[in-house]
Amino acid sequence: MLLVYGLKEEKLALLKELSEKYGFSLKSVKDEDTFYTVANLAGLEGADKRKFLKEDYPKDMEFLLFCQIDRQDLYGFLQDLDQAGYQFPHKAVMTETNQSWPFSYLLSHIAEEHTLMQAYQRLGKKVKASSHLKDPEIEQIIKKAKSLSSLGEDLTVNHVLALEKELDQALANLEN
């Protein structure tokens, strides 16, 4: 099953067509459905049917959640989407952990994770571009940037943004 959220008709029609091609069902999740758990929305047996508090999440977000879909079908589906010219930066696979989450919490979590990854990639590009500089301050910041991954799940977008700001300031100081 493919759970989709926030899609316009054109994209929804393409996803329905591809879902049929790969033999899985598609379900649109509406705002009023986001109170329910992922497992409930996916129709899993024994899923918690209660309503939960609604998390704050981006309302203009397009999101795809792949539920119990074969890996090969998933990759084929995503490749077909890409060939049709569609990318969905907010997507996930249902896991043992996230299936018990309210859908709104999952949306919020995925949005935060996406923001973190964008910031982390941006910092990585700046670190790479600065790595040839032989400045002790910049070398220290690069060392800190390379150690960010050791924070694991404790890593937040604030860690990355603070280090990016520190690097930007050090580079500005070097130019002056």
Q: Residue 115 has what pLDDT?
A: 92
Percent over 70 (pLDDT), the chain? 100
Q: Residue 56 has what pLDDT?
A: 85
Q: Which of 78, 111, 144 is the last residue of a domain?
A: 111
Q: Residue 59 has what pLDDT?
A: 78
* Strand order across the 26-29 sheet: 26-29, 2-5, 63-66, 91-93
Q: Total domain count for the chain?
A: 2
Residue 93 pLDDT > 80:
yes
Contacts of residue 50, defined as CB under 8 A and 6 or more positions apart, other chains included, come to 36
Q: Residue 60 has what pLDDT?
A: 85
One-letter amino acid of 145: A
**Statement to judge: residues 94 and 120 lie in one domain:** no
Q: Which of 68, 84, 111 is the last residue of a domain?
A: 111
**Statement to judge: residues 79 and 121 lie in one domain:** no
Q: Which of 98, 120, 95 is nearest to 108 (CA)?
A: 98
Rounded to 5 degrees, what angle do the CA atoms 57, 89, 20 make? 100
**Statement to judge: residues 101 and 124 lie in one domain:** no
Q: Residue 83 has what pLDDT?
A: 95
Q: Residue 54 has what pLDDT?
A: 81
Which residue segment(s) compose the domain that 168 sits in? 113-175
Q: Average pLDDT, whole number, for the chain?
A: 93
Q: Residue 176 has what pLDDT?
A: 75
**Statement to judge: residues 35 and 106 lie in one domain:** yes
Reported as type and span, the H/E element at residue 98 is: none
**Statement to judge: residues 102 and 131 lie in one domain:** no
**Statement to judge: residues 144 and 83 lie in one domain:** no
Residue 110 pLDDT > 80:
yes
What average pLDDT does range 87-101 have in this prediction? Answer: 95
**Statement to judge: residues 156 and 131 lie in one domain:** yes
**Statement to judge: residues 56 and 127 lie in one domain:** no
**Statement to judge: residues 13 and 70 lie in one domain:** yes
Q: Are 28 and 8 in contact (CB under 8 A)?
A: no
**Statement to judge: residues 142 and 73 lie in one domain:** no
- Region of 14 on the Ramachandran plot (φ > 0 left; ψ -120 to 50 alpha; else beta): alpha
Whole-structure pTM over 0.85, yes or no? no
Tens digits of per-residue pLDDT, 35-92?
Answer: 999 999 999 999 999 999 887 888 789 999 999 999 999 999 999 999 999 989 999 9
**Statement to judge: residues 9 and 62 lie in one domain:** yes
Tens digits of per-residue pLDDT, 146-166?
Answer: 998 898 888 899 999 999 999
Q: Which of 56, 86, 111 is the last residue of a domain?
A: 111
**Statement to judge: residues 39 and 69 lie in one domain:** yes
Q: Residue 160 has what pLDDT?
A: 94
